[in-house]
Amino acid sequence: MERATNGQIATMPIEFKLDGRTVVGRPDEPIIETAARHGVEIPRLCYKPGLRPDGNCRACVVEIKGERVLAPSCCRFPAAGMEVSTDSARARASQKMVLELLLSDMPEKEYRLDSELDQWARKLNLGLPRFPSRTQPAADLSHPAMAVNLDACIQCTRCVRACREEQVNDVIGLAHRGDRTEIVFDLGDPMALRNLVTDLRPEWIVHCPAATDVAWCETHPEDAERINAEASGTLASAAAAAGSRLLYVSTDAVFDGSRGPYAESDGTAPCNVYGRTKRKGEDLVQRALPSSLIVRTNLYGWNVQPKQSLAEWVLDRLEAGEKLGGDQRDVADQRLLGAPQHAAVELAVLRHQKSRSTCVAETASARTAISPM
């Protein structure tokens, strides 16, 4: 008679009690799946068939007779003779508390109507949460085709596991600790960034991503430095280790705008957080990979993304008869090419592009005919 292998033993049926009735399960099937097969619904948020169970949301906890603490049913497997309760007073109270705490952090705006959190809250008859909300993270609307609304994120890490373990591209990660924990993408995950560059070993890396919203950088200086400076240095170090060359897209905001046009040899004097963090990014890139190519750009025209470019914003204010005062004027002076005659050219081009007609822009030093594309 042949001895059964571990794989065969794992698939052998076993009997255990689920909410007082005897059911048949398998040692390799989590309790949450066995319960579903027998018509018993257990709340779940981080669990998804096909992904490795994490057990981090704790919405699926159950009570097991003889055990001191509740167990996440997505990570716990049945044993012969085990007695499991999915709806005991203790298990249900914990499930409801998890859902209520998560609900308290949700934004007032609903981004989708099929929210699993809302569905489970209704099934467990939860009312309005009793707890104050967290400080909501800002939305990332920098991509023209994708909005990242982290205020609706419950950090179930499904996206992280899908990218790391199914797609194996390590694009998404989890950063920080406690109430600062958040989902991060590429540049916000240094280890993933290094692994990606090491695996691909590209000949050239063109580093474009950055926190470019000047006003946002002023109110989020630490985040701006992490994205614009520290992540750029990390990428340059990874490129150096992989033997790759790097083109770092910087900005003309490293200058203060007091004169212009600027030459590469001119000294820098950034006057806002965005400019300072991009200038620090230049230093870190040069230090890690001295052969890097740094390009200080100034792009103008209509923004293809939903938000306005700075020039569009200034043009709208001026056409509405408004004056730019104080900080607004400083930002406009510093960002619109520095020299007033160049700012006039840019605003004239934008204005006449509205009518799609050829325009003539006059400055103190030139008269230029410009045809819209």
pLDDT in tens, 290-310: 999 999 987 666 666 666 666
**DSSP-based three-state secondary structure for 251:** strand
Mean pLDDT value of segment 352-357? 48
Sign of CA dihedral 189, 192, 195, 196: negative
The encoded tokens of residue 132 equal 């104050």
Burial class (CB in 10 A: 0-12, 13-18, 19+), 13: exposed
Spatial contact of 34 and 23, defined as CB atoms under 8 Å apart: yes
Mean pLDDT value of segment 34-47? 95
Answer yes or no: is pLDDT of 283 > 90.
Answer: yes
Q: What is the pLDDT of residues 21-31, one digit of tens each?
A: 999 999 999 99
Q: What are the angstrom distances between the C-alpha of 77 and each of 6, 64, 128?
A: 15, 11, 34
Element (H, E) at 343: helix 340-353
User: From start to end of 252-346, where are the E strands?
Assistant: 293-297
Q: What is the pLDDT of residues 317-334, one digit of tens each?
A: 667 776 654 444 444 444
The encoded tokens of residue 291 equal 């052969």
Find tokens 């025209």 and name the residue: 301
User: Does 315 or 36 have the greater pLDDT score?
Assistant: 36
Cβ-proximal residues to 222 (8 Å cutoff; 6+ apart), any chain: none
Other C-beta atoms lying within 10 Å of the C-beta of residue 236: 25
Closest by Cα among 85, 90, 105 to 21 = 85
User: What is the spatial distance between Cα 151 and Cα 134, in angstroms, rounded to a whole number?
Assistant: 9
| C-alpha of 72 from chain center | 27
Q: What are phi and psi of 185, to 5 degrees?
A: -120, 130
Q: How far is it between the farthest Cα atoms of the chain?
A: 99
Residue 355: HSE in the Cβ half-sphere, 13 Å Cα cutoff: 8
The encoded tokens of residue 75 equal 């990570």
Please, what is the end-to-end C-alpha distance for the chain in angstroms? Answer: 82
User: Does 323 or 12 have the greater pLDDT score?
Assistant: 12
Residues designated catalytic: 274
Question: Quick one: pLDDT at residue 14?
Answer: 93
User: Does 140 or 211 have the greater pLDDT score?
Assistant: 211
Task: Tell me the β-bridge partners of 62.
Answer: 71
- pTM (global) more than 0.75: no
Cβ-proximal residues to 80 (8 Å cutoff; 6+ apart), any chain: 14, 15, 16
Q: What is the pLDDT of residues 93-113, one digit of tens each?
A: 999 999 999 999 998 888 888
The encoded tokens of residue 80 equal 């012969």
Domains and CATH numbers, the chain: 1-132 (3.10.20.740), 301-373 (no CATH)
% helix / strand / coil in the chain, to the nearest 5? 40, 15, 45
**DSSP-based three-state secondary structure for 253:** helix
The encoded tokens of residue 256 equal 């203060």
Sign of CA dihedral 227, 230, 236, 239: negative
Q: What are phi and psi of 173, to 5 degrees?
A: -140, 180
Other C-beta atoms lying within 10 Å of the C-beta of residue 328: 15
Answer yes or no: is pLDDT of 339 > 50.
Answer: no
Answer yes or no: is pLDDT of 367 > 70.
Answer: no
Question: Quick one: pLDDT at residue 6?
Answer: 67
